[in-house]
Amino acid sequence: MNIKNLKDEIFKKYDDLVLIEDKTKKNELRLEIKLMLNKLDQKDSNCYHLLGLLDYESDDWKKHVDKSIQNFEKAIELDKNNFLAQLYLAHCYHDLNQLELALLNYNKVNQEKLKEFQIWRYTKLIEQIGYCEYKLGNKKSAEIHFEEVLKWYKKLPEIDRVVPSELVECLPQDHWIVIEIKKIETYL
């Protein structure tokens, strides 16, 4: 099998992995994909990004988070335009509650490309920047980001909206942004 076909097969298997619900099968396929990736002599940015995702999306991600961070960093080193690797690198730091590093990396994400790719990811990014700002004591900056999230929520169809959990966690329940969000997201 040539390299292009092998890469195509790897990414097809990853697409399959995302849909599998059985944990045992999921872990077996995750291992198979890692073995296939390790057969590649030359890995590109997408390969390292995928390696990072395989560990980050696992049930025991905390055990492998250092590997995820290394793989996302390598993906970015190989392709500065890999905005999803940049986003997931920020997610790693966010999940580790290293909010300064999370914010630094969230701010490096190419927002225009992310917006074109998936608008829900873009609005979540803005919310996550606001969350980090808020938790780091920059409440005015956080409010500006949360207000932008609200503007998007008002105009996006339901399918393109994500639960604004971090916004609701940060702001008081009687804050005007929370009140407006709750008018849109009635389940909150």
Q: Give the model confidence (pLDDT) of 52-74 as tens digits.
A: 999 999 888 889 999 999 999 99
What is the pLDDT, as a whole number, of residue 33?
95
Class at the top of the CATH hierarchy for domain 1-98: mainly alpha
Report the length, in residues, of the chain: 188
Mean pLDDT for the chain overall: 94
The whole-number average pLDDT for the span 91-120 is 97
Q: What is the 3-state secondary structure (H, E, C) of the chain?
A: CCHHHHHHHHHHHHHHHHHCCCHHHHHHHHHHHHHHHHHCCCCCHHHHHHHHHHHHCCCCHHHHHHHHHHHHHHHHHHCCCCHHHHHHHHHHHHHCCCHHHHHHHHCCCCHHHHHHHCHHHHHHHHHHHHHHHHHCCCHHHHHHHHHHHHHHHHHCCHHHCCCCHHHHHHCCCCCHHHHHHHHHCCCC
Looking at the chain, which residues constitute the CATH 1.25.40 domain(s)?
Answer: 1-98
pLDDT level of residue 1 (50, 70, 90 thresholds)? low
For residues 130 and 170, is the Cβ–Cβ distance under 8 A? yes
CA–CA dist 160, 155 (Å, integer): 10
Q: What percent of the chain has pLDDT over 90?
A: 84
Residue scoring higher pLDDT (75 or 17) = 75
What is the pLDDT, as a whole number, of residue 41?
87
pLDDT level of residue 4 (50, 70, 90 thresholds)? confident
The whole-number average pLDDT for the span 112-120 is 96
